[in-house]
Amino acid sequence: MRFWITMVSVLALDQLSKWWIVANYQVGESHALLGQWLHLTYVQNRGAAFGIMPGQSWFFLTAALIVIIGLMYYNLRYSVDRLVQIMMGLIVAGALGNFIDRIRLRYVIDFFDLGWWPVFNIADMAVVVGGCLLVLHMFFFMKEG
């Protein structure tokens, strides 16, 4: 159940935040949110997370679909620890959020701008945080066999 709650909540937050940016910003427009540390900058990203590999939409759509289906299947098929359900929900929500953008718009809406890192969105954060936590969990808490 935690998988679905996490996935739906994060996906909704991702899509609502992107809708808000598009409704209130022009492409390339930027405003400081936390002084020099964080800006909101509307970017149309045609690459992968953080803008890498631009123009490879079919590759990213296929990869995202494999991740989404694979993790959903795994969650439904196997008894999964509560924390792992949350981690997997984060990854699926992020993959699905950017997948929706790519299908609907042919690009991903990004807006968090640290100035020293490529512009990103909530879906990117969900994939990175969920993936890192899942890897740490696998290394430190999963039993062999």
The answer as to whether 48 is a domain residue is yes
The answer as to whether 30 is a domain residue is no
Which pLDDT tens digit goes with each residue over 23-33?
999 999 999 99
Q: Round the average pLDDT of the chain to a whole number and report it.
A: 91
Residue 140 has pLDDT above 60, yes or no: yes
Per-residue confidence (pLDDT) for residue 78, from 0 to 100: 84
Sign of CA dihedral 80, 48, 94, 101: negative
How far apart CA 142 and CA 145 sit, in angstroms, is 9
The answer as to whether 28 is a domain residue is no
The answer as to whether 69 is a domain residue is yes
Q: Which residues are part of the catalytic machinery? A: 110, 124
Per-residue confidence (pLDDT) for residue 54, from 0 to 100: 66
State the pTM of this model.
Answer: 0.88
Domains: count for the chain: 1
Per-residue confidence (pLDDT) for residue 52, from 0 to 100: 64
The answer as to whether 58 is a domain residue is yes
The answer as to whether 33 is a domain residue is no
For residue 132, what are the domain limits? 2-14+40-140
Tokens 């439904």, residue?
76
